[in-house]
A = this chain, B = another copy of it.
Amino acid sequence: MGIFDPKPEHKFTFGLWTVGNRGRDPFGSEVRDTKTPAELVYLLSEVGAYGVNFHDNDLIPIDATPSEAKTIKRDFQKALDETGLVVPMATTNLFFDPVFKDGAFTSNDSRVRAYAFQKTMHAIDLGVEFGAKIIVFWGGREGVETDSSKNAIDSFKRTREALNFFCDYAIDNNYDLKFALEAKPNEPRGDLYNATTGHMLGFIETLDHPDMVGVNPETAHEHMSGLNFMHSVAQAWEAGKLFHIDLNDQYPGRYDQDLRFGSRDLKAAFYLVKFLEDVGYSGSRHFDAHAYRTEDYEGVKDFARGCMRTYLIFKEKAEQFNKDEEIQNLLKEINAENPTMDQYFGPYTPEKAKALKEQTFNREELSSRGLRYERLDQLTIDLLLGVR
């Protein structure tokens, strides 16, 4: 078995909706047949995944009868049992059905909001039933095309009310759960509220149970706005809020591409994997992506294998970066701390402030130092391209 082959300890997971994506897009119809949830579990097992996640309606269609639901769940459980795949995360589809055309928690119609509460409780129950420990919230329709139509303040209040409700619901039911909020700037709505991982981090602090709630950053969603994804992930991690992650790829300033992980922006993917591995992130490496529309199900497997393989290649390169003597020496040189400055940092004291105000600095000397970042970056490129 090769070093770039997936193993359970890598915690690679896929959504049912990813390998089950049928290739429909705004300008074209489905190109692949429907597969049942159970069939998708076997497919994921075949390619070496560790787990499978779902929206409520990926598993149980919105109009399924109780008896249909029962059969689907039985077959799905059987597939999990036979393959050993686990279900670390579940989420609620609050965007596909026309009832959510103006949002779920932020709908201007209180009946829609109530229905969204109901649907989410059922989705949480369903996730828990299959062992999920993380519930993701992606508010795909929580936004506007025209700001004349909704009061932004109300939308924040309504979203908060919903999240507070579900936290209490989980507590009330003794569910061992954390919630992870997923941001997106736009699409399918003109503008979505809480547009970035940063906005979500700010929002979480206004909730009743901030400790239960973190983020689920997604590469494509942050790249759509041209943001540095790793920076958002690092901020979430440093704040203790990186509860889950959605890996894929995306070129900025366009529609949501959900490309195979590491297939478009190699440099960004490297820094992300390096970050996750360096800090010891222990959650799922969840791929929220789908195969090109040119593919049949063999191509879907190629796609899924590629996501995991590329992750592992970058993992290996991250280790190489950490061991590379020239790179590490450059980093040491760059970060040379001046011990005479230590006295000024750490907690504030009036004395420290006074002394620091009187310290003399030689701006010109400090400025003239070349930082060797071009060299450092070229070594990184060499390493990425495998010529080092």
Contacts and interface: CB of A to CB of B under 8 A. Distances in A.
A336 to B, nearest CB: 8
Interface string A228-272: 101110110111000000000001111111011011111100010
A66 interface: no
A83 interface: no
B28 A95 contact: yes
Given A198-B194, A377-B146, A168 B235 contact: no
A373 B118 contact: no
Contacts of A156: 234-235, 238
A176 interface: no
Given A26-B188, A256-B26, A149 B341 contact: no
A292 interface: yes
Interface stretch (A6-14, A37-45, A73-81, A306-314): A306-314
A252 B275 contact: no
Contact of A30 (B98, B206, B275, B363): B98
A290 to B, nearest CB: 10
A206 B201 CA distance: 10
A147 interface: yes
B255 A255 contact: yes
A195 B196 contact: yes
A299 B266 contact: no
A149 B376 contact: yes
A27 B108 contact: no
A348 to B, nearest CB: 4
A329 interface: no
Given A199-B198, A375-B302, A381-B306, A26 B29 contact: no
B118 A271 contact: no
Interface stretch (A84-92, A127-135, A353-361): A353-361
A101 B294 contact: yes
B148 A377 contact: yes
28 contacts: A4-B387, A97-B367, A98-B363, A111-B366, A114-B359, A115-B359, A117-B356, A145-B292, A146-B376, A149-B376, A152-B234, A172-B350, A185-B227, A193-B235, A194-B198, A195-B228, A196-B196, A197-B199, A198-B199, A199-B199, A206-B239, A226-B226, A254-B254, A296-B369, A302-B372, A306-B377, A310-B381, A384-B385
